[in-house]
Structure 1
Amino acid sequence: MSEPMPPSGENTLFQADGVLVTTQRLVAGGRAWPLGEVLRVEAIHRAPRVIPLLVLLGVSMVLGLPAIMTAMVASDAPGQGVYGAALGCLGVVAFGSIAGLLLAQDQYWLVLRTRRSELRVFQSQDHQHISRLAQGVTEALQAARLRS
């Protein structure tokens, strides 16, 4: 992503990762706000949703596997190909759930709050990076307000 450039007549107070704070405005996420509209910039944390993956894994192992195995040994069971396919699908669901759990990561967002909205403008999996970015933007906003 290219860094936004301030128009002539504006001094840059802070610029990093597509976020620009000048003496007159804040530009982030492809949008611009006059500094007077920006109330606060903060870093927020969003944990991954693992409950659906845990439920899917549990149901597939606790209900699905015994149901298929019971049906396989029934005296009126159809051909083994059907059960082989069902076991294959069950394996994909179980291992897919495990992979999803292993790959789940926390997300951190730089959030811009105005009187009218809240906008997530930058995302990272590095908490310290988002915290430093939020601190830099906040300090630039405070400096701009002191100049006004």
Structure 2
Amino acid sequence: MMERESWPVAQSRARPVLRLVPSLAPEPLTPSGERVLVSAEGFRLTSERLEAAGRSWRLEELRGFGTRHAAPGLKLPLALGAGAALVVPALLLQPGSFRVTAALAVATVLVFSSIARLVMAADTYWLTVRTAEGERLVLCSHDHQLFARVVEALGEVLAPPEPRPVTPGPGMPVRRLALVR
């Protein structure tokens, strides 16, 4: 026969819960009637123009855009932190002196600053637009979600670039395709 033990169960009371749900508000409009697609500090993309870096372009002026992504270099903080962490046990075996204490302090600062750098490391994203004057850097951000929203909105409002025909340069062989039945 199996015995079953029961524990006293605390009576739970129903608690009123207030949950705020954001309403699906329409996109804000500018005074001129343009829809604001993305807005961030120093950057605004509307249905008719792009405002960034103190300049403003109509969407018709933009010929395309490009993105770039860079991950932070982590080799130096890892190497410094690992080197300092390996030095600390050797310093602890030395007899106490001012040099050993100073070296321990420096090694400790290196270890913790390396850890802080690794924790705070963030990718950087750049957005450039192509205009008649050339390429312009319009956004540099560490916020991936904002950058993804901007790129998605730009992709929707800008027409895809027309494919350019490739013309062979001097010394390049001309390749021709033949249809074989």
TM band (smaller chain): 0.5 to 0.7
Pick the structure with greater CA Rg: 2
CA contact (8 A) 1:108 1:130 kept: yes
Q: 1:22 deviation in Å?
A: 4.9
Match of 2:20 in 1: none
Q: Which residues in structure 2 correspond to 1:40-51 (within 5 Å)?
A: 40-51=64-75
Q: Distance in 2 between matches of 1:99 and 1:67?
A: 24
CA deviation profile, 1:63-109 (whole Å, cap 9, x unmatched): x4477457x35xxxxx7123112211110111110121122233444
For the residues of structure 1 that align with 2:136 and 2:84, how far apart are their CA atoms? 39
More strand by share: 1
123, 126, 136: which is aligned to 1:106?
123
Is the contact made by 2:30 and 2:36 (CA closer than 8 Å) also made in structure 1? no
- Tell whether 2:49 aligns with 1:16: no
Match of 2:101 among 84, 87, 108: 84
By relative contact order (CA 8 Å, sep 6+), the higher-ranking structure is 1
Q: Which runs of 5+ in 1 are unaligned?
A: 74-78, 143-148
Task: List aligned pairs for 1:61-80, cutoff 5 A.
Answer: 61-62=85-86, 64-65=87-88, 68=91, 72-73=94-95, 80=97
1:50 deviates by 0.9
Residues 37 and 45 of structure 1, relative CA distance in 2, 3 Å threshold: same
Report the alpha carbon displacement of residue 53 of structure 1 after superposing the two structures with TM: 0.7
**Partner Cα separation in structure 2 for residue 101 and residue 40 of structure 1:** 35
Identity of aligned residues (%): 29
Structure 2: which 5+ runs fail to align?
1-28, 160-181
Q: Greater share of helix residues, 1 or 2? A: 1
Distance in 2 of aligned mates of 1:29 and 1:15: 17
How many residue pairs get aligned? The number is: 126
Q: Equivalents in 2 of 1:132, 1:16: separation in Å?
A: 7
| TM-score, scaled to structure 1 | 0.63
Write the distance in 2 (CA, Å) between the matches of 1:86 and 1:13: 60
- Supply the AA of the counterpart residue of 1:16: V
- Aligned residue identity for 1:20: L
The CA RMSD over aligned residues, in Å, is 3.1
What TM-score comes out, normalization by structure 2 length?
A: 0.54
Cα distance in 2 between the residues matched to 1:120 and 1:50: 27
